Each structure stands twice: as structure tokens, then as C-alpha cells.
Amino acid sequence: MGTPHFTRRGAVGSGVAAWTSLLTQSAAAAETAPEDFLKALRAALGADAVLTGDAITQRYLARRQTERPLAVALPKSTAEVSAVLKLCHAAKQPVVPQGGMTGLVDGAVGRPGEIILSTDRMTEIADFDADNRTLTAGAGVRLQALQEYANERGFLMPVDIGSRATATIGGMAATNAGGLQVVRYGMMREAVLGIEVVLADGTVVSSMNRMIKNNAGPDVKQVFIGSEGTLGIVTRAVLRLRPKPAGMATAYVAIDRFENVLKLLRLFEAQLAGALTSFEIMWDDYDAFVRKYCPHLPPPLKAGHKFYLLIEADGGDPASDRARFDKAFAAAKAQNLIAEFAIARDAEERAAYWAIREQAGAQFIELGPFFGYDVSMPISDMERYGLRVKKELSAAFPKSTTLVMGHIGDGNLHLIVAPGGRSPEITRKANEIVYGAVRALGGSVSAEHGVGTLKKEYLAWSRTPEEIALMRTFKRALDPAGILNPGKVL
């Protein structure tokens, strides 16, 4: 199902149908009377760490959710998470790990009868180690707080995503998040050196590795990264920091032929010798939308080009970094790859360029009910993909609008599809068009956010039967009673 980007907690358009189907799916059934279970939970955590009824505020609910889960547990430590899971395991009580609730596939939503385990109180940052460039973060630490902590000490937290103010390290590990600087620094898999998880039966697995190289057997943490809380609950992570860049060079670029976008990417990768941090694309429809609905976000280049790019590189010496950036642009001009470009003169201009990419989402609602999709595919197929999807969407929904943008350097496109109406049939048709074209290209229905419940139906469109069977084997081995985030992913 399409994921509604930029609308925290639930769908605009797709939310009601999604939530209704969510409620009708059966989770693992608890075997202990709720009152007895809650009593035991309060005894383990303290009464103030167990919320029920009206005390469960909107913070812990999906946007349109009216029925509350049984309780929200707020443990402070790994030992307390273990205590909660031991109780859940004994009682066969379904439990949903929850971080900042910024994921848009309903992966952290707790249904009636389930308990939410929120990491809200697990916010310690410890063991900062400048020599080895590592620190340890509690699962509930918010990305922006961690970025600021690292920045104050002269380091960079290399994973950055638009939801930084609210997304947590535990949620980011559980979804293998990666957004704006993946080209240079990778996703959470690259940033997480070590992890601590609590298994469904309460066993604590401490794999708090601090080295870049550790090949003593399979890398246990990778099983949990990207598993969306279905295999274990992340309680802490050792993160790899990078040197803080001395400066950033940022450019806004217009290009009229897609093949030149690919050539430009290769040219910048070669000429900037690994310093390229972002290579973001916006189709002409996105540019037109910004000009029409976002007068506060004036694009720096003329309208009417086919593609707009936001290109950024970092480095350790601003003068020579800038010279190298300029040289790459001179080469691109000489090869006639670029129609127009502007290089940000200061931090204010840089922020204005990024705002076009990051803040226009607040206005998508002007298009009416819309779905957001995030998909990935080989970069060379992207233009073909965009054309096919738009053609099919226009044929199915004559009043529809589709905007395309994304992290092209990572092969990741975002689509905003406003079909001009709202119904379960419209949702299904739009999903089938967008994901059907992904499937035809051997792409992925989820580049970000994971699968949750909203993309479950389409998992087999991106994964082979053998891959899905292996996922089930992991699930059975690690959570035989099926209490961890039941009904999600598989």
C-alpha cells in the first residue's frame, strides 16, 4: 500500500482502509487475563511506567487510530525490557516495539489487546570515544539529539533523514534507515558497529562490537537491523562516527535529458573522489508543484527543465574542496551535461535549496488525498519507470497528479500520487500500478520505512519465495510464540 510521506502517523488517503484491515488481522492471543498481566507489568516497571486507557496519548497512536492498545510500557533499561519480554513470553502477550512513530507503514502501531513497548525513556548517550570514533546510544535517543551531541564534539553522525527530530536510533536500526547522505556514508547497516537486543523470551544478546572489522563468524547484528521489531527489541547500539566535515559545497542543477543525469552522477563520483554526499533528483512535475503551491520556496533556476538536482559534497578543506567542486562543474559544462546551475554562496542559500527538497511535502495535501511511495530500482531504469507509472496512473485516474523525486544516487525514488479521489479500489489500483512497474524491473517495493503492515501484500513482488521462507525460518527460530510485533512484515 502506498505510504503517505510527510504526514506523520498514518495515512492521508490510505489510512482508514489500512487501519480497518489492521484491526481485523489476528495477533497472537494472550493467555493471561489482562488485569493480571498489567499487575505483573506494574510490579516489574513501577506504576508510572505502564500507561493504560486515556493515559495512552496520541503520541503512541496512529493518526486515525481510535481504539487503544492494552497498555504502553515505558522501560528505562535493557534489564527492564528483558523483564517485560519475559512476562510477555510467559503470557503469550503480543508486544509492539515503538520508537518515534515516524515510519509510515504502520509498523509500530499497537492494536487492541497488544502492548506497546516504547523506548521513550531509553535516551542515554554514553561511552563517547574520540580515538575510536564511537559512542553508545540508547534505543530511544532521537537522531537530531545524537547529531548535535556528535557535532559538539567535532564528529558527524553519518546517517541523516528528514524525520531527524523524532526518529529514534532503535527505530532507525530496526528499519535500516538511510536518507540524505547514503551515497557517501551508507545506511544504518554501515553506521551500527554493535547492537544490544532483547529476544522474545527476554534473553539479552549483547553484541556491542566497537571495531570496524570483526569476522569471527556471521555478523549477528545484521539479522536484527531492518527486521522491524519482529525478531528482537534493540536496546542500545554502538555507532560509528565520522570526522565532522569542515564545509559543504551545494549546488542546484537543471538538466534536460535523463542520460545526462546518469553521466553527471558518474562524473561527480569520479571527480570528487568519494566526497559526494547527496545526489537528489526532482522531476519537472515536482518543480512545477513547488512553484505553484510553495511561494515561500522559490527555486533558484528557471522553470521548464526536465530534471532538477540537488548535489552536495563535503570535505576537510573548504578552499580546495570548493575548487574541486567548481572543476567538476566546469567538466560537466564542457560535456554539455548541464542546462543551468547555481552554487550556494552561504549557509542560508544552502538551507533554501534543501528546503525545496525537504519542506514542499507540507503542501502535498493541496492535491487532495494522496499516497506516498518509496521504491528502488536500478538507476538506469528510473526514467522508463517514471514514464510508465505516470502513463498508467493517468489512464486509470484521469484527474490524478503524480510527483516524482528521490535519492537518485541510491536508486531510490519517492512518488506522490494524488488520484483525485479516495476508496479502497483506488488504493489497490494505484498500488498495483506503482509496485507492478517496480516488480517488472526487479526493484524493491520498500527503499525506506520497511514493510510494516501496509506493504505486506506486496513483499512477494520484491522477494523470492525462498527469501520469504528464510525470513519465516528466522521468525520461528527467534520468536516461536509469535509475540513480537505480530502481523508485521510477514
By beta-carbon proximity to ligand FAD, the closer residue of 294 and 343 is: 294
Give residue for cell 511561494.
295
By beta-carbon proximity to ligand FAD, the closer residue of 93 and 102 is: 102
Task: Return the residues of window 401-460 that contact ligand FAD according to CB under 6 A.
Answer: 448-449, 452
By beta-carbon proximity to ligand FAD, the closer residue of 14 and 98 is: 98
Minimum Å gap between C-beta 450 and ligand FAD is: 6
Minimum Å gap between C-beta 233 and ligand FAD is: 4
Minimum Å gap between C-beta 39 and ligand FAD is: 25
Minimum Å gap between C-beta 304 and ligand FAD is: 28
Minimum Å gap between C-beta 259 and ligand FAD is: 26
CA distances from 116 to 91, 95, 112, 243, 461 (A): 15, 6, 10, 37, 30
By beta-carbon proximity to ligand FAD, the closer residue of 221 and 488 is: 488
Q: Verify binding: residue 10, ligand FAD, rule CB under 6 A.
A: no
Minimum Å gap between C-beta 59 and ligand FAD is: 11
Position among 172, 343, 393, 483 found at the interface with ligand FAD (CB under 6 A): 172
Minimum Å gap between C-beta 353 and ligand FAD is: 17
Q: Verify binding: residue 121, ligand FAD, rule CB under 6 A.
A: no
Minimum Å gap between C-beta 277 and ligand FAD is: 13
In total, the chain counts a number of residues equal to 490
Q: Verify binding: residue 233, ligand FAD, rule CB under 6 A.
A: yes
Task: Return the residues of window 131-160 that contact ligand FAD according to CB under 6 A.
Answer: 139
Minimum Å gap between C-beta 439 and ligand FAD is: 21
Q: Verify binding: residue 196, ligand FAD, rule CB under 6 A.
A: no
Position among 18, 56, 174, 337 found at the interface with ligand FAD (CB under 6 A): 174
Strands across the sheet containing 115-118: 50-51, 71-73, 115-118, 95-98
Task: Provide the b/e sequence for 391-406 (b: ≥16 CB within 10 Å).
Answer: ebbeeebeebbbbbbb
Q: How many residues bind ligand FAD (CB under 6 A)?
A: 37
By beta-carbon proximity to ligand FAD, the closer residue of 233 and 343 is: 233
Task: Return the residues of window 72-111 that contact ligand FAD according to CB under 6 A.
Answer: 96-104, 107-108
Q: Verify binding: residue 178, ligand FAD, rule CB under 6 A.
A: yes
Minimum Å gap between C-beta 360 and ligand FAD is: 11
By beta-carbon proximity to ligand FAD, the closer residue of 161 and 343 is: 161
Binding letters toward ligand FAD, positions 345-374, x by CB under 6 A: ------------------------------
Strand-pairing partners, residue 234, are 197
By beta-carbon proximity to ligand FAD, the closer residue of 168 and 402 is: 168
Minimum Å gap between C-beta 119 and ligand FAD is: 5
Position among 38, 167, 339, 413 found at the interface with ligand FAD (CB under 6 A): 167
Q: Verify binding: residue 228, ligand FAD, rule CB under 6 A.
A: yes
Contacts with ligand FAD by CB under 6 A lie at 6, 8, 96-104, 107-108, 119, 139, 161-163, 167-168, 170-172, 174-175, 177-179, 228-229, 233-234, 448-449, 452, 485, 488
